[in-house]
Amino acid sequence: MGDSRSGRYGGQPTSEACASYVLRTTDLLRAGLRAGIGARATLSFSGDNDPFAIALEISSGGGFPFIEFAHRSRTRDSIPQRYRVRLLSTPQHLGGVRWWFECPRTGRRCVKLYLPRGGHRFWSRAAYGLGYACQREDRMYQAQRQALKVYRALHGEGNWRDGAPPKPKAMRWRTYERLASKLDHYNARFDGGWALSAARLLGRQARF
């Protein structure tokens, strides 16, 4: 990403690959910031070469609470940034409210803001076009990850490629059969992905 206005050239980058700094609404509470109560706090992220500090000040203007950010951009020129992010709230079923950020770029509410390498300001994941690492997983890895999860639920101690282990004593037969069927499904998906990869490799070799 060249800067905060970069698009999705070369595919959708992930927040992990861009080493994003992530700010959550819960981080504000831990820092002692409360909507409706003027306060200041400084948070620090570890990364790059030096600690990255952001100064936060919670205030209210026109009846709407907001957070004022002060930090430097994560670009080569490291430009000072100062801007506001509005805070939104929704009522909870059991009382109280849940707080959200209003993304400065998209205007949508979110619970996390990101500042990836090359970015100028904290925006939402959607604003930066960041994907999740799991969205980049290929077919075989997805199948393996899901199969391992099911195999552990079956208390398997061997290799998940060997199929379902014997039914645990405390597990109902209906539950066991459902999980065993899932494991077979993911095994088949893994085999299908392997076969496809092998076919592509053989096809490339045949051209040389």
My answer on whether 97 and 25 are in the same domain is yes
**Interatomic CA distance for residues 148 and 33, integer angstroms:** 41
More confident call, 8 vs 194: 194
User: Taking Cα atoms as reference points, which of 79, 81, 78, 97 lies closest to residue 89?
Assistant: 97
My answer on whether 32 and 124 are in the same domain is yes
My answer on whether 97 and 194 are in the same domain is no
My answer on whether 87 and 129 are in the same domain is yes
Tokens of 84: 């506001």
My answer on whether 120 and 163 are in the same domain is no
Total domain count for the chain? Answer: 2
pLDDT tens digits, one per residue of 114-159: 888 888 899 988 888 775 544 445 667 778 888 889 989 998 887 7
User: Do residues 62 and 73 make contact, with C-beta atoms less than 8 angstroms apart?
Assistant: no
> Is the pLDDT at 34 greater than 80, yes or no?
no
Q: What pLDDT does 64 receive? A: 72
More confident call, 53 vs 196: 53
Domain termination site, one of 108, 133, 158: 133
> Is the pLDDT at 36 greater than 70, yes or no?
no
My answer on whether 166 and 118 are in the same domain is no
| Strand ordering across the sheet containing 97-102 | 39-45, 52-61, 64-72, 80-91, 97-102, 109-110
Domain termination site, one of 133, 158, 190: 133
**Interatomic CA distance for residues 18 and 88, integer angstroms:** 27
Q: Is residue 66 part of a domain?
A: yes
Residue tagged 């079956």 (tokens): 154
Q: What pLDDT does 81 receive? A: 94
My answer on whether 108 and 59 are in the same domain is yes
> Is the pLDDT at 38 greater than 80, yes or no?
no
User: Do residues 154 and 164 make contact, with C-beta atoms less than 8 angstroms apart?
Assistant: yes
Please report which confidence band the pLDDT of residue 178 belongs to, taking 50, 70 and 90 as the band edges.
very high
pLDDT tens digits, one per residue of 67-106: 888 998 988 888 999 999 988 888 877 777 778 889 989 9
Count CB-CB contacts under 10 A for residue 138: 11
Count CB-CB contacts under 10 A for residue 131: 17
Q: Is residue 208 part of a domain?
A: no
Please report which confidence band the pLDDT of residue 62 belongs to, taking 50, 70 and 90 as the band edges.
low
Spatial neighbors of 182 by CB under 8 A, at least 6 apart, are: 146, 150
> Is the pLDDT at 12 greater than 60, yes or no?
no
**Interatomic CA distance for residues 88 and 171, integer angstroms:** 45
More confident call, 92 vs 174: 174
My answer on whether 55 and 90 are in the same domain is yes
Domain that includes residue 156, residue range: 137-203
Average pLDDT, the chain: 75
Pairing of β 52-61 and β 21-24: unpaired
